[in-house]
Amino acid sequence: MGNARRNTVHKSMNRPLTILGAERRLFFAALITGAALFNLLHSLLGGLILFVAGLVAAQWATKYDPQILRVLLNSSTFKAFYDPAKYEPEKASVLPHVSTRPHAQTI
């Protein structure tokens, strides 16, 4: 027991990359939408309000699940395995008892 193997784990490797408590892609999405509103409407207050609202939503999403953006983007590539709108009940029937064990041969 004296030769037990020890592996060091660094916190920085397991924490998500965040800016102001929001996952960085969501942070930049909020920043770009706020800047786009500022450029389109020439309203600094509107851009700031949209950025802060997006930042709060990004912080909530990051707190809920740090990998939520990756999961949402990857989920569009998978097929649905179960579609309740296309439900068709399976037809089942009962068969008479059939022995599946082979009989022992005697010599």
List the domain boundaries for the chain: 18-74
Backbone dihedral region of 21: left (phi > 0), alpha (psi from -120 to 50 degrees) or beta? left
Rounded to an integer, what distance in angstroms lies between the CA atom of residue 103 and that of residue 22?
A: 68
pLDDT tens, position by position, 89-100: 778 777 777 666
| Three-state secondary-structure class, residue 45 | helix
Contact indicator for 50, 32 with CB cutoff of 8 Å: no
Question: In the prediction, which pLDDT does 99 show?
Answer: 64
Say whether 23 sits in a helix, a strand or coil: strand
d(CA 93, CA 67): 46
d(CA 29, CA 55) in angstroms, rounded, equals 9
Burial of 28 (0-12, 13-18, 19+ CB in 10 A): middle
Which pLDDT band, with edges at 50, 70 and 90, does 82 fall under?
low
User: Over the stretch 15-50, which tens digit does the pLDDT of each residue have?
Assistant: 778 889 898 999 999 999 999 999 999 999 999 999
Higher pLDDT, 5 or 89: 5
Residue 98: HSE in the Cβ half-sphere, 13 Å Cα cutoff: 4
